[in-house]
Amino acid sequence: MQNEQLIHNWMVSYLKEKLSRDYTSVKANSGDEKKNEYKGHYPDLILENHGLVLAIMEVETEGSITPEKADEWKTLSGLGSKLILMVPKTSKAKVIDLLWKRGMADKASVGSYEIAVSMP
């Protein structure tokens, strides 16, 4: 679980840096930090252009993808901004299935990441 938290925090940091080229402001809530609030919630990333929140993003790891977490996604998807989920590539089908079961497949976009290690 500690490694998953490390991966989660690294992905939030990486995405913040990468997305800062496309948005005028990218606010992050990493780990236990709860500095950036959006309508009473603290998503991992808040993506803004010129003061307008265009999207909120949640980064998930294999261990954090649960039906309870899907309920949180449903709440976040109803806040008025686009919800983007970043999930491990191997878990993408599971996440899409959870979205369908919660009736919110059309309310969230799903991106994926993969960490590859090549050994000699």
Write down the pTM of the prediction: 0.91
> Could you give the residue ranges of the DSSP H alpha helices within 1-120?
2-19, 67-77, 92-101
- Strand 25-28, strand 82-88: pairing: unpaired
pLDDT of residue 19: 96
Percent residues over pLDDT 90 in the chain: 77
Cα separation, 98 vs 120, whole angstroms = 38
Neighbours of 103 (CB within 10 A): 9
- Reported as a single tens digit per residue, the pLDDT across 22-65 is 999 999 997 777 889 899 999 999 999 998 999 999 999 999 99
Which of 3.40.1350.60, 3.90.550.10, 3.30.360.10, 3.40.50.10800 is the CATH number of 2-113? 3.40.1350.60
What are residue 41's DSSP bridge partners? Answer: 38
